[in-house]
């Protein structure tokens, strides 16, 4: 069987598909990742095959001139409404610019099944043209479901632009990596098949220090790239690191190579870590402080480690709320997170068993979900026409 994995051309989007790609390859299927230029290194490092389709996308065209923080006279809610609308337009632009090549490849390669991450709308067109199932693969809490009421008119316009007649934006089935309690409530509106989250953040050579017992509790922190982009500097990242380092802990600070120098001097109990996959570091940590990206959220969840989530925009704010509802972590708005407040929250995670117990419980629930290998069998049945809603999926 031939299976196409369609992804937006950034590594963080692709990573949610990698484990399923491996499972399907191990089951004997021919798997092909399809994306616009820019994703080549991340896909090839995963061991999967890639076909590049369409032009290199330029999201800057959508975001040019947009203030990342509310200007004077604009409240947070209005700013977020405008930011969300631009984010949708970015993904819609990607669909318009790549749909011809994505469909063209699908016509030529003839996949039996198409898996797509939630904003890869061109994949829905390809599935419709070929008459094959389209399966949405979630990276975490279902943000696109929560956005449907606000985006319904914009989606209708996009369907007209790419020649689709009222498709279900959620596909024929949704593969859901969230254990009970972490996912949003949908009232049965989305057909879901639970699948266990298998962390993947890229390959690495494990450094010797990671194998050694820590002298003090380890706390990992990473704010990704968004906060630095919004602020135009690394000041907030520096403040977060130093706030945690004021406790009796060892801080592991995840940074990109171009962020190291702008951070400046740091306390002696801080170790800067570049390009180290999270799933290798987090099991040895006592707490994690991060920006709310779905990959970081679920990788920390799978390790059974309590979290402070500094949500800042739509999907990261949703992740923070959903995690806090499970008791496995604490939600904090990034823009009001003072050093004292961050230090208090980390101390709370370290100071008692409550959040850690909830985090371990949530990880245990995750381990009861079907593995990607088991999901591969379910997908085989879907492609063969043995029911659009497999056993175990919500209807």
So what's the pLDDT on residue 192? 97
Give every residue of the chain whose pLDDT is below 70, as ranges.
225-233, 386-395
Please tell me the distance from the alpha carbon of residue 33 to that of residue 111, in angstroms, as a whole number. Answer: 11
First to last CA, the chain: 26
Distance CA 4, CA 37 (A): 16
- For 304-359, the pLDDT digits (tens) are 999 999 998 889 999 999 999 999 999 999 888 899 999 999 999 999 899 999 99
Domains present along the chain, CATH in parentheses:
2-197+369-383 (3.40.50.2000), 208-367 (3.40.50.2000)
pLDDT of residue 50: 98
Name the E strands within the chain.
2-6, 30-35, 49-52, 113-116, 134-137, 173-176, 192-194, 218-222, 250-255, 270-274, 287-290, 307-311, 329-333
What is the Cα–Cα distance from 232 to 338, expressed in whole angstroms? 18
Q: What is the pTM of this model?
A: 0.93
Using CA atoms, how far apart are residues 343 and 246, in angstroms rounded to an integer?
8
DSSP alpha helices (H): ranges in 27-142? 40-46, 60-63, 76-109, 121-130
What whole-number distance in Å separates Cα of residue 161 and Cα of residue 159?
5
Q: How far apart are CA 13 and CA 5, in angstroms?
A: 11
CA dihedral sign, ordered 277, 317, 182, 179: negative
Find the largest Cα–Cα distance for the chain: 60
Q: Is 250 in contact with 319 (CB distance < 8 Å)?
A: no
pLDDT at 264: 82
């Amino acid at each position: 069987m031939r299976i196409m994995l369609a992804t937006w051309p950034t590594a963080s989007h692709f990573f949610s598909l990698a484990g399923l790609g491996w499972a399907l390859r191990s089951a004997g299927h021919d798997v092909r990742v399809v994306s616009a230029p820019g994703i080549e290194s991340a896909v090839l490092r995963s061991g999967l095959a890639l076909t590049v389709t369409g032009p290199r996308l330029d999201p800057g065209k959508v975001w040019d001139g947009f203030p990342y923080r509310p200007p004077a006279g604009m409240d947070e809610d209005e700013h977020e409404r405008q930011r969300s609308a631009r984010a949708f337009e970015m993904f819609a632009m990607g669909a318009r610019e790549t749909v011809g090549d994505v469909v063209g490849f699908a016509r030529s390669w003839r996949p039996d099944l198409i898996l797509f991450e939630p904003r890869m709308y061109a994949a829905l067109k390809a599935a419709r043209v070929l008459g094959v199932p389209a399966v949405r693969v979630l990276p975490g809490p279902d943000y696109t479901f929560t956005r449907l009421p606000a985006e319904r008119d914009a989606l209708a316009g996009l369907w007209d632009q790419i020649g689709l007649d009222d498709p279900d934006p959620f596909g024929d089935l949704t593969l859901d990596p969230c254990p009970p309690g972490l996912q949003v409530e949908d009232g049965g509106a989305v057909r879901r098949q639970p699948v266990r989250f298998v962390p993947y953040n890229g390959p690495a050579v494990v450094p010797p220090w990671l194998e050694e017992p820590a002298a003090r509790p380890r706390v990992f922190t990473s704010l990704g790239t968004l906060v630095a982009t919004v602020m135009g500097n690394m000041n907030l990242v520096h403040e977060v690191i130093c706030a945690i380092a004021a406790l009796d802990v060892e801080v592991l600070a995840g940074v990109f190579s171009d962020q190291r120098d702008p951070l400046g001097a740091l306390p002696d109990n801080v170790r800067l870590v570049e390009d180290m996959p999270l799933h290798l570091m987090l099991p040895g940590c006592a707490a994690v402080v991060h920006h709310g990206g779905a990959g970081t959220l679920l990788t920390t969840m799978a390790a059974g480690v309590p979290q402070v989530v500094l949500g800042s925009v739509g999907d990261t704010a949703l992740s923070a709320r959903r995690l806090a509802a499970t008791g496995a972590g604490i939600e904090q708005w990034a823009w009001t997170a003072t050093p004292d407040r961050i230090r208090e929250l980390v101390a709370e995670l370290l100071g008692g068993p409550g959040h850690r117990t909830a985090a371990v419980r949530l990880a245990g629930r995750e381990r009861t979900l079907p593995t990607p290998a088991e999901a591969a069998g379910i997908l085989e049945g879907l492609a063969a026409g043995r029911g659009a809603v497999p056993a175990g999926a919500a209807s």
